[in-house]
Structures are given as structure tokens and as C-alpha cells.
Amino acid sequence: MIAEVVIRPMTPADVAEAKLMMLTVSAGIFAPHHPAAAFINHYGPALGDVDDFQRHYGPPGGLFLVATDGATIIGTGAMRRLDDATAELRRMWLLPAYHGRGIGYRLIQELFTFARAAGYRRVRLSTSNVQQQAIRFYERLGFYRIPRYRETDDEVFMEIGLGSGE
């Protein structure tokens, strides 16, 4: 039985557990496609922005949230500034046991609320072709595919408008 899932801003005390959760979820998605050593060598260091989340996702232009079930971090989501009108959705991860319960939707809605209040007019994201479930989730929310907007290993780039006229 799950306790009430709480979504709140990440604190420095959450970093290690949040990274472990992200690595656990990403291992389930990506490890079958990569040798173990390559997975560890790539995805561990790729989370360096989480170590310094306050610099990468801190106010006033960003926000990093965690979803907790009791004292356990079960999901994350972050928003950061790309430019005055555009925010980027990052670090959306949710333990598979919690999929289909509306938690990812709640995370993203809280991040959209933040983005609107911060004056952003659109949100972009990038993800991997391997993450078909995530791509379908984003499409259901109204994200659509766009050309590559930054250098990354990701193959899929998406955007959603946050206000009228988008």
C-alpha cells in the first residue's frame, strides 16, 4: 500500500537518493541496449547536473521536484531556463511500480505551473527513441516533435506551448 505521494522541491539531502532512483530507472530502460560498463561509464557521470541541481535548476529560472512515497523518492522532474520564453523539461523519472497512477502527470503539471509563473511561453524536452512510453506520455500531454535544439545523444526533441497564441 502506498502512502500519500508528496511532490516537493528537491533539497541537497535528496541528491544521492534521487540519483540512485534515476540510475535504477534508466538501467531498466537503457542497460539492455548497452554493455554494463558502457552504461555505468555514460549514465553515472551524465547525472552531474543533479549533484549541483541548485546551479542548474535553481531559482529564479528553474525548479527541481521530487515525488516521495513516505520517505522514499519515487520520481523526479526539473525545469530550467533555455531563454526568456523557453524552459526545458529535464530529469523526468518515475519508478515503474508507480506508472499509471497520475504521479508523472502531477509532476509535470507542477512544473508547467512554475514555468507559466516564471513567464515562459513554451517548454522543450529531449529524450531517446528507446523511451517510447515516455514519448507517448508527452504526446498525450500535447507535446509535438521539433528539430534538434541542442547537442545531446537524444534523438527525439519535443515542445509544448504554455499559453494562448502558441
Taking only the tens place, the pLDDT of each residue in 44-100 is 567 788 999 999 999 999 999 999 999 999 999 999 999 999 999 999 999 999 999
CATH code, domain carrying 103: 3.40.630.30
Q: How many domains does the chain have?
A: 1
Q: Of 70, 61, 60, 51, whose CA–CA distance to 10 is shortest?
A: 51
In a domain, 40, yes or no: yes
Q: Judge whether 76 lies within some domain.
A: yes
Asked, for residue 29, whether it belongs to a domain, the answer is yes
Is there a domain that residue 37 lies in?
yes
Structural domain for 87, as ranges: 5-122
Per-residue pLDDT at 165: 42
The answer to whether residue 166 scores a pLDDT higher than 50 is no
pTM here? 0.88
Percent of the chain with pLDDT over 90: 69
46 assigned to some structural domain = yes
Asked if the model's pLDDT at residue 134 lies above 50, the reply is yes
Q: Is residue 158 part of a domain?
A: no
Q: Is residue 91 part of a domain?
A: yes
